[in-house]
Amino acid sequence: MNMKHNLNFKENSIDAVVLAGKSKLITQAKPNIIHFSSSLYNSYPFASYHLINPPEPMDKEGIDYKAIIKIDGKPMVNYVVEVLAESDYVNNIYIVGEKDQLNKTGFSRGKEKIRFVDDKGSFIDNLIEGGNASQSNKILFSTSDIPLIKKEHINDFIENCFEREDGSIYIPYYTKESNNYNLKANYPARIEGKHLRNGCIFMINRDFLNEISKKGELYEAISPLYGERKKGLWPYLKLVHYIPSGVLIKYIINKLTIRYAEKAISNKLTKRINKKTGNNLACNIYGIESVPEIGIDVDSYEDLQNIEKIIKNNKKFA
């Protein structure tokens, strides 16, 4: 790891928080399922799939708590937790959710690292509760519904974060051009000629979390974003008072870069928050380029069937 900007960073110094609050899968009348169709799988990192229609689930009650739905015989949250437990940099793992439901999962790895935190009802409140339970200065957050994620994806994201100057929040993104999975997804931003989608993991600094925990302006700004994150760019543009006019102009004329946006938004956010609070907090926001597996999540029965097919075929050709 490049330690240039983080001389005090040590291995196993990051706690992870898995946000596994109760949510349901979306079901529809005629979902799609993908089936493996490439005979050249071993030559390519990703397989090619085609779509057909499967039947509806027989027992819809079994998908009321999304985190514990089984994919290829394993609860979905287990894929995430066990990968975090294998990471070279993660110490404790805090799972925020309903303990009686999560206790059914039977984690096969990393049990000594796992602690449960009670569900507080909303994404932002669970983020605060899980973050406050942890002991580390940098906290890695993850949703519970990204079962394609692997140890190397976690390690690479963390290493890329610590190659940057010290930050308040590190947000991963991946490009449409890098995604070879034949799965439906929207890409709400177009920057530097590429279509971008944010990931489902992110890292927050303790001071930034403390500011969110005060439930002031920053809390109010962040609260609606999770639920609306897949509705395109509009939910983010509603935060226009945090976004310098230069960023919007460059975005409109397709001249915006990630680094320019990072610096401009960080400077404006710092000034606005400190003016409101009287603090001297540096709010540095960094975008970290990553891989599709950190953002391919399970929201619907269609997603569930498609991703289970990918996992089974990955095992078959491993």
Q: Give the mean model confidence (pLDDT) for residues 17-32.
A: 74
**pLDDT in the model for residue 111:** 75
- pLDDT, position 312: 93
φ, ψ for residue 180 (rounded to 5)?
-100, 10
- Residue 76 pLDDT > 80, yes or no? yes
Q: Residues 179-191: what's their mean pLDDT?
A: 83
pLDDT at 82 over 70: yes
Average of per-residue pLDDT across 74-88: 94
For the chain, the average pLDDT equals 80
Q: pTM of the predicted model, to two decimals?
A: 0.84
pLDDT tier for residue 125 given thresholds of 50, 70 and 90: very high
In the block, tokens 């071993």 appear at 42
Greater model confidence, 192 or 59: 192
Residue with the larger pLDDT of the pair 155 and 102: 155
Token couple for 219: 């809390």
Sign of CA dihedral 166, 171, 175, 180: positive
- Asked if residue 34 has pLDDT above 50, the reply is no
Token pair 């509806």 is found at 56
Q: Is 154 exposed, middle or buried (0-12, 13-18, 19+ CB in 10 A)?
A: buried
Q: In 10 A of CB 55, how many CB atoms?
A: 9
* Predicted pLDDT at 65: 87
Reference 190, options 130, 124, 256; nearest CA is 256
Q: In this model, does residue 52 exceed pLDDT 50? A: no
pLDDT tens for each residue of 214-243:
988 788 877 766 665 555 555 555 566 677
Of residues 248 and 109, more confidently modeled: 248
